[in-house]
A = this chain, B = another copy of it.
Amino acid sequence: MTLATLGPAGTFSHELAARLYTDEIELLPTIRSIIKHVATGAAKGLVPIENSEAGGVGETLQGLMEFDVSITGEAYIPIRHHLAARTDPSRLSVIYAHPQTHEQCSILLDKLGIEVVHTSSNAASAVAMQRDERAGAVVSEMAAAIYNLPIILRDLQNNRSNITRFVEISAAPLDSAGATKCSLLVDPETDRVGLLADLLGVFARRGINLTRIESRPSRRGIGSYIFFIDLAISEGLQEAKEELKGMASVRELGCYARMEVPGL
């Protein structure tokens, strides 16, 4: 089955997809278009859901709310940014970088003191660099390889443990054999003081570990939230889910295991 992920060629999504799958890879321009495509049953998808620097990926959480897809796996990839150029750092007059890449490498780029020009993607930085002998580009390993650019400075990122978590999505859920984690979308529908404490108490009382909770705007107005909750699979989970369903609207997004990434 085709695997849909975020383009252009050389994104971290593309790199991870190439490492994980032997399927044909289809690069789409927006996360929403990937999730919509997966919901039709025509493809599996691979989308970023959480980064250790930037937090939750809004477009992915929004797409999971909007379309009927299931999470069927997760994988982690370290985010490493490198400076590519055909000259010495001292001879550079401009560095091309995507604005978010610039944010993630701001400490070192500030120190270099060379003008940074923003581009639309790391791939676009690579292309822009090739037009000018004295230009550099902040790119991933894969983008450097695709565009055949020499890397002159490695690991520009502010945080050496910058990691992105991706999820595999499919039109139908997995059976839960082998799964270690489940994701729920919890919509309290109304708000009251102490509601979130009560919702979480359902799991706390049974000793079930929440590995993540992320609040998202419900779109019923500012200040009204829904919650993405990830839980470690353990005894009492089925009972806890039933109790929760008595307190809030609950959608099961899927139970799944971590995929090992070859070569990382």
Contact = CB atoms under 8 A, between A and B. Distances in A.
Interface of A: 29-33, 51-56, 58-59, 61-62, 76, 98-99, 102-103, 106, 110, 116-121, 124, 159, 161, 163, 165, 193-194, 196-198, 200-201, 203-205, 207-217, 219, 221-223, 225
Given A29-B118, A200-B200, A217 B52 contact: yes
Given A103-B32, A193-B208, A196-B213, A121 B121 contact: no
24 contacts: A30-B99, A30-B102, A30-B106, A53-B217, A54-B59, A55-B56, A55-B58, A55-B214, A55-B216, A98-B120, A99-B121, A120-B120, A159-B219, A193-B208, A194-B201, A194-B207, A196-B210, A196-B213, A197-B197, A197-B201, A201-B201, A211-B223, A212-B223, A212-B225
A212 B212 contact: no
Given A55-B217, A159-B219, A222-B76, A197 B194 contact: no
Copies of this chain, whole number: 2
B204 A193 contact: yes
A127 to B, nearest CB: 12
A215 B214 contact: yes
A121 to B, nearest CB: 6
Contacts of A203: 193-194, 197
A207 B223 contact: no
A197 B204 contact: yes
A213 B62 CA distance: 18
The residue in A161, A204, A207 that gathers the most chain B C-beta atoms within 10 A of its C-beta is: A204
Contacts of A204: 193-194, 197-198
Contact of A103 (B31, B98, B119, B209): B31
